Structure 1
Amino acid sequence: MLSIGKELQMDVFSESGCLLLKRGHYVLTPELKQKLIKMGFAESKPEAKTAEKPNINDHKKHSLFEDISFLQLRVRNVLYHALTAQGFEAKVMEIAQALIQLAEKQRDALIASIFLVPFTEYSVAHSLHTAALLSILTRHITLPPKHRETLICAALTMNIAQVELQNELFAQADRPDDGQRQAIFDHPIMSSAILREAGIEDQLWHTLVQTHHESWQGNGYPFALPREQILPPAHMLHLADITCAKLLPRRYRSALLPATALGHIFQRKDTEFDQAFTTMLIKELGIYPPGSFVRLASEEICVVISAGAKPSEPLVAAIRRADGPPYGTPLLRDTGKPGLKVTAPCHASEAKVRVSFLAHLWKS
């Protein structure tokens, strides 16, 4: 019933009833296969091969965060095995289409996943975050056929030449050395070369990967293109890339609060970023994006669930008082009331809760 690289045709549970792997997800490593064989019990017999492929949004009783965790595994698989796995382009396209589905049907949960879903490899998470953000930003943009998917595919693969280097840079306390800086400078071209070897012939895909670090100020790399030579989708990819990078920490700096990061980007409109794109970014994410944390006038620490009637009045769930333990369950709060207004954003560390405690707030 278990084959590496193929979809599961059944739910697999542990003996105690804990769901190990959901039907429709992939077994990507020999280690995962052996773990499932050792621990798993199938819910039912596998369906016939002609059965309709499960839709990522068909599962009604679990959190989207589980889907995102499995998407991380799929992204890791394509990034590390681009030159050895068969059907590379189709696999990347499937991930892009899954993100588009999620952006259309579960926008708030997808945004929240950027902030909340744990990851083990920065390079994988960053590619997925950037692609997820682009799937959200392009919801209401009219693009030529397949261009939306191509843009998201470019986000997923833009750093394929420096997957391990990105993980090193994320963990190291010092700034990049000369060798690392040269590898960073070269990676847009090298990534394009790897993609070509992997069978990607779409020239737009290559152009987006090659130019995703070009800047309107003319000081980007590797070509230092002037503003008028940078394609709008490449510029949008550049914006999404920088936005997601600012939202996660490094050893040598802390993550910026989402409101602070978005403020920094909005201040650079028309000089470094297209004002139309930055306006779209602020509109889609809001002042307080879903998955970020805020403090209320009641001195409660809350997680933002979605936008409210006003940008300053998001729908939130209280997790704990600032000086107390977490509540038994998150409690919805109306931030439009005077005693419950948002007073400031705060870091996730102040919430002091696991993601599993919050995941049910965004149900499939």
Structure 2
Amino acid sequence: MAQLIRKLAFADIQIHKPIDYSIFDRSGNLILRKGFVVSMPGFAEKLVERGYFIGVSEAGDLPSAKEIKARVIRRPAEQTSVFIEMASFVEAIARIHRIILSPPSNLANVEELMRSRAQQLVGFIQHDPDAVLAALYLQQHGQDLRANKHVLGAAVCYMLASQICQNDTALDSLLCAALTRDLALYHFDKGLGAQKGLGELEQLAVWEHTSTAVKLLQKHGIQDKQWLLHVYEHHEQPNGRGYPLAKTREETHELSLLLGLADAYAGMTIANKWRPGIYPANTLKELYLQKDSKYLESHIGLLIKKLTRFPAGTVVALQSGEIGVVKNTNYTRKSPMVYSIIDEKGFPRSEPTPRDTLNTKYEIKGCISPERCKTALLAIKRIWM
């Protein structure tokens, strides 16, 4: 009998793209195999209406929620490369966002979908946090950048929050908030085109986007007060100059302030239609300069300690003339381990080659754009295989 994970949801099926899991009926009979491409309009709705399940292997009865978390949500991080999995994860979050931005429907349980994805992200982070950071930074091309920003901010937020909060329920609410915090900004991605400045109405909409996101979530049945609070407050600042209510440090939930910092890191690092992303190292420097005004100094310190000077995925130029990628921060070292992906003559390597940056020959000269590494994408992926 197939191992059933949970009931099939509309967000699990994207028209004209392979499905991520096989689909079974309640008895474990195979309905559609993983990789099947649904192309017929209305077919996905029929599958959901019939109450089918998604499954991954031969097993026993329908597992409990605890077993799902242990056996299924965390398993992909152990079986396949987290770096590779992140591209599909971003697409899955983008699909859920589209559902939330659409009129409410009984075909999708938004809270269940988002909480399951949040736990999946926790599994990825616990298995290989550096691969998560690197994938989200290096695989921006071809991705939904708004969804990518949501996921990067959520990942960073969880990495920091888990150091100061041991309450799993609170962390789950915070992670769901991080994955849905800027839903109302999708309008600007599509509507402003090449326009760089915002008119008065657009500025007002940006100012109100946290409250708009809360209303969208409530329409889809989200009642978790902490989830909604973090979405609403994540642009407040300790100095009382944030929005929408200009709350002070004492009036704002600490985890909301932490989410605001993670959001800023992701917003600066991920590219948008008007500018390329800022190098992670430079982003950290800019955020540090705003400690105890826009962001708490303790949070900034935690961010820099966790990500280090050169976060995983940072593309760097070496003294040898090679171009490399930071694989892991290796917190016990003074300098990160880097893998060379382009040799000193400018040719992409077929296999990444480790370089000890404590060696003067391979010292880091500076950061460069990931755009320089498109020809070495295969070598980059092999770093985290």
TM-score normalised to structure 1 length: 0.84
Q: State the Cα distance separating 1:46 from its structure 2 match.
A: 6.6
Distance 1:62 1:167, change over 3 A: farther
Partner of 1:147: 170
Partner of 1:77: 95
Partner of 2:75: 58
Q: State the Cα distance separating 1:212 from its structure 2 match.
A: 1.0
Residue identity in the other structure for 2:85: D
Identity %: 23
Matches within 5 A, 1:3-18: 5=10
Structure 1: 5+ residue stretches without partners: 9-19, 38-43
Q: State the Cα distance separating 1:214 from its structure 2 match.
A: 1.1
CA distance in 1, matches of 2:376, 2:187: 27
Say whether 1:231 aligns with 2:245.
Answer: no
Structure 1 runs, 4 residues or longer, greater than 6 Å off: none
Partner of 1:33: 38
Q: State the Cα distance separating 1:284 from its structure 2 match.
A: 1.2
Q: State the Cα distance separating 1:90 from its structure 2 match.
A: 1.1
Distance 1:226 1:140, change over 3 A: closer
Distance 1:348 1:219, change over 3 A: same
Partner of 1:346: 368
Query: In structure 2, the residue corresponding to 1:303 is in which secondary structure?
Result: strand
Query: In structure 1, the residue corresponding to 2:163 is in which secondary structure?
Result: coil
Deviation digits for residues 220-244 of structure 1 (CA, Å, limit 9, x no counterpart): 1111112221110110011011110
Distance 1:343 1:68, change over 3 A: same
Of 104-113 and 297-306, deviating more is 104-113
CA distance in 2, matches of 1:306, 1:77: 30
Partner of 1:12: none
Say whether 1:222 aligns with 2:251.
Answer: no
Distance 1:77 1:100, change over 3 A: same
CA distance in 2, matches of 1:21, 1:308: 36
Q: State the Cα distance separating 1:174 from its structure 2 match.
A: 1.3
CA distance in 2, matches of 1:160, 1:240: 16
Deviation digits for residues 181-201 of structure 1 (CA, Å, limit 9, x no counterpart): 121111111111111111111
Distance 1:45 1:193, change over 3 A: closer
Query: In structure 2, the residue corresponding to 1:55 is in which secondary structure?
Result: helix
Q: Is the 8 A contact 2:341 2:349 kept in 1?
A: yes
Matches within 5 A, 1:316-335: 316-321=338-343, 323-335=345-357
Query: In structure 2, the residue corresponding to 1:265 is in which secondary structure?
Result: helix
Residue identity in the other structure for 2:98: Y
Of 335-344 and 131-140, deviating more is 131-140
Residue identity in the other structure for 2:304: I
Deviation digits for residues 235-255 of structure 1 (CA, Å, limit 9, x no counterpart): 001101111010022343332
Matches within 5 A, 1:131-280: 131-168=154-191, 172-280=194-302
Distance 1:72 1:131, change over 3 A: same
CA distance in 2, matches of 1:361, 1:24: 29
Deviation digits for residues 286-345 of structure 1 (CA, Å, limit 9, x no counterpart): 111111111111011000100146665211110113542111211111111121111212
CA distance in 2, matches of 1:144, 1:72: 26
Question: 2:307 is matched with which residue: 285, 289, 300?
Answer: 285
> Which structure is higher in RCO with an 8 Å CA cutoff and minimum separation 6?
1
Distance 1:23 1:194, change over 3 A: closer
CA distance in 2, matches of 1:200, 1:194: 9
Query: In structure 2, the residue corresponding to 1:138 is in which secondary structure?
Result: helix
Residue identity in the other structure for 1:353: T
Q: Is the 8 A contact 1:287 1:311 kept in 2?
A: no
Q: Is the 8 A contact 1:293 1:304 kept in 2?
A: yes
Of 157-166 and 209-218, deviating more is 157-166
Structure 2: 5+ residue stretches without partners: 3-7, 24-31, 44-54
Distance 1:24 1:72, change over 3 A: farther
Q: Is the 8 A contact 1:302 1:319 kept in 2?
A: yes
